[in-house]
Amino acid sequence: MDQINNIQVVPCTSSNHLKPFRVHYSQNGTKKSWDFMRTHESVSILIFNTTSHCFVLVKQFRPAVYVCEWDKSKPSPGEEKKEGEEQAAPEEEKEKEQEAEGEGQGKGEETEEVGSAPDLPPASAGVTYELCAGLVDKPDLPLEEVARQGVLQECGYDVPVAKLRKITSYRSGVGVTGAKQTLFYAEVSEENHVGVAMVEGEAEPREGEVVKVPLHEAMTFAYDESLPKTMPVIFSFVWFHNNMSPKYKISTNV
Cα–Cα nearest to 191, from 160, 220, 168, 214? 160
pLDDT (0 to 100) of residue 160? 95
Residues contacting residue 99 through CB under 8 Å, at least 6 positions apart:
107
Largest pairwise CA distance in the chain:
85
CA distance 240 to 214: 13
Given phi > 0 = left and psi -120 to 50 = alpha, else beta, which region is 201?
Answer: left
pLDDT (0 to 100) of residue 102? 46
**Please, are residues 44 and 184 in contact by the beta-carbon 8 Å criterion?**
yes
Q: Where are the alpha helices (DSSP H) in 89-175?
A: 92-100, 143-155
pLDDT (0 to 100) of residue 11? 87
Domains of the chain and any CATH numbers:
38-67+122-212 (3.90.79.10)
Q: What is the pTM of this model?
A: 0.78
pLDDT (0 to 100) of residue 108? 42
Element (H, E) at 235: helix 231-243
pLDDT digits 0-9 by tens, 47-92: 999 999 999 999 999 999 999 988 887 776 666 555 555 554 545 5
Q: Where are the alpha helices (DSSP H) in 89-131?
A: 92-100
pLDDT digits 0-9 by tens, 84-140: 555 545 455 545 445 544 444 444 433 333 344 557 888 889 999 999 999 999 889
